Amino acid sequence: MRRLRQLAQRTPPGRERYVDLLRALAITMVVLGHWGVTAVGYDDGRPAGHSALADLRWAWPLTWVAQVMPVFFLVGGYANAASLAARRRRGGSAAGWLVDRSARLVRPTTVLLLVLAAGAGIATLRGAEPAQVRTVVWFATIPLWFLVAYVAVVALTPPMYALHRRFGLAVPVALVVLVALGDLGRLLGPAALADGNYLFGWLAVHQLGFAWYDAARAATRRTGADAAEAGATALDAARAGAAASTTAGAGPRGLFRRGLPLSGRAGALLLGGGLVALVLLTAVGPYPVAMLHIPGERLDNAAPPSLALMAAAATQLGLILLLRHPAGRWLRRSGPWQAVLAVNAVVLTLFLWHLTAAVLLVGLLDALGVLPTPPVGSAAWWAWRVPWLLALAAVLAVLVAVFGPVEARTRRPPATGPAGTGRRRLRAGLAVAGYAGVLVGLLLNSLAPKTAPEPLGLPAPALVAYLAGAGLLRLLRSGRVGRRRPG
């Protein structure tokens, strides 16, 4: 608690605390959502889990809010733009930013994969069937599907931010058009046209985070200048900030403006327009109502992202803008801000381990012979939701206590001296190779069948590729390769 108070007191006055709140809320909703809709039963005498959403059709419209991955990519875009811009103001390079940015993503993920591989190996040595081992590990690593896309957009942040600075909001609009073309491929063929949507959809939302950052930074600069010139009071400064938010992104207009309109009017237009588009696309158009995977549906709105999910993202962005100022005032209070800081300190750990917590709890209850398996939607199933969530929260709390420090104690690498052109190019090439190894490893694991006989639970090529990429990035962060120490 003392450390949280210190962090709260050291928070820069210009920090957009709302971004941190949204990140914490998004991950919390993902965790609770996955747990809440999980239905556990037995398949050939073994515990098996599946989503209950297929049996809860009334809940499908709720996924327009509950599908919060767009929120995570939105705030990720804001945070990545802010850190990259700060790095460049200090004279740093894009390659150096990529290397340092990898620490917070790769270190917690590496721990998860090594622990799962070790546990799977022990289970195999003790006589467990490799196919069953793979099934368990496959379920525990479902969160890595998201991480594949997020690591990819992080790796593409430097060139995509350069595109944003040149073309502004025209970039996400163009990406949404590509998503629509991919959907046409799914509907009319060839279906492979939609594969690019895994990248285009999330890049589009990530670009909006860039635009939010540019608008907020412009507003902060204007507010500070106005307050300094007029000797404004705190109330004057707040009013100036609201006016600056309305006119954020001054410069190029229309689609080429760099700043996202942050006014309440813009939020209302996005919320209303997004809702209208969602209703038309799902009620009249060919898209499912649910923004999450539903077995048997012709299209999947989330994998890959569809035009309907882009409409949901616009709706959520509108709601976010409408709540921005009230939430910002609330976060000026010490208690709420400390809670947000606490969640963000281990936010990736919470996400990565939340399905492992479910695996452990189901395994324990099954071993004790007390695993409840009520039919989905029954009174018993609903009654079991509360103790189920509380038990999962307790298991996850233990996992976070053990593995959370790996993320929470991640520090920036030590400062280094300038490097020559040759060293910069070497460092950039090695950073790209490191990210490529991590991405290939995560992707190979996600694409491998869940019943493949894998003694370590993970495909060996996936584990080798990931560890090679992670190891290379770790070596670059240590400063032993591609950069020179001061003096």
pLDDT tens per residue across all 487 residues of the chain: 677 787 887 888 888 999 999 999 999 999 999 999 999 999 888 898 888 998 999 999 999 999 999 999 999 999 999 999 999 998 888 999 999 999 999 999 999 999 999 999 999 999 999 999 999 999 999 999 999 999 999 999 999 999 999 999 999 999 999 999 999 999 998 888 899 999 999 999 999 999 999 999 887 766 555 544 544 444 444 444 444 444 444 467 778 888 999 999 999 999 999 999 999 999 999 999 999 988 777 789 998 999 999 999 999 999 999 999 999 999 999 899 999 999 999 999 999 999 999 999 999 999 999 999 999 999 999 999 999 999 999 999 999 999 999 998 876 554 444 555 667 788 889 999 999 999 999 999 999 999 999 999 999 999 999 999 999 999 998 876 655 544 3
How far out from the chain centre does Cα 296 lie?
27
DSSP string, 330-349: HTTSHHHHHHHHHHHHTHHH
Tokens of 175: 């990406």
- Cβ burial of 196 (10 Å; 0-12, 13-18, 19+) is middle
Tokens of 7: 């962090």
SS3 276: helix
Span between the terminal Cα atoms of the chain, in Å: 39
Residue 396 CA to residue 188 CA, distance in Å, equals 44
How far out from the chain centre does Cα 49 lie?
24
- pLDDT score at 189: 83
Q: What is the CA radius of gyration of the chain?
A: 23
Residue 279 CA to residue 283 CA, distance in Å, equals 6
Q: Taking a C-beta distance cutoff of 8 angstroms, is the pair 467, 110 a contact?
A: yes
- pLDDT score at 247: 44
Residue 115 CA to residue 266 CA, distance in Å, equals 46
Q: Taking a C-beta distance cutoff of 8 angstroms, is the pair 66, 33 a contact?
A: yes
- pLDDT score at 482: 53
- pLDDT score at 463: 96
Q: Where is 449: in which H helix or E strand?
A: none
- pLDDT score at 486: 46
Residue 55 CA to residue 377 CA, distance in Å, equals 7
Peptide bond into 459 cis (omega under 30): no
Report H helices in 126-143: 130-140
In sequence order, what are the residues at sequence separation of 6 or more whose Cβ sits closer than 8 angstroms to the Cβ of residue 97?
Answer: 83, 84, 87, 88, 157, 158
> Helix 379-408 vs helix 94-125: angle between axes, to the nearest 10 degrees?
120
Residue owning tokens 């229309």: 254
Residue owning tokens 């995977």: 293
Question: Any idea of the CA torsion for 131, 134, 138, 139, to the nearest 10 degrees?
Answer: 80
Residue 2 CA to residue 67 CA, distance in Å, equals 35
Which among 334, 384, 448 is positioned nearest to 52, based on CA atoms? 384
- pLDDT score at 454: 94
For 461-486, how does the pLDDT look when each residue is reduced to its tens digit (9 = 90+)?
A: 999 999 999 999 999 988 766 555 44
How far out from the chain centre does Cα 8 lie?
23
- pLDDT score at 168: 94
- pLDDT score at 220: 72
How far out from the chain centre does Cα 42 lie?
32
The pTM for the full model equals 0.89
Tokens of 315: 């709706």
- pLDDT score at 487: 39
Which among 351, 355, 328 is positioned nearest to 340, based on CA atoms? 328
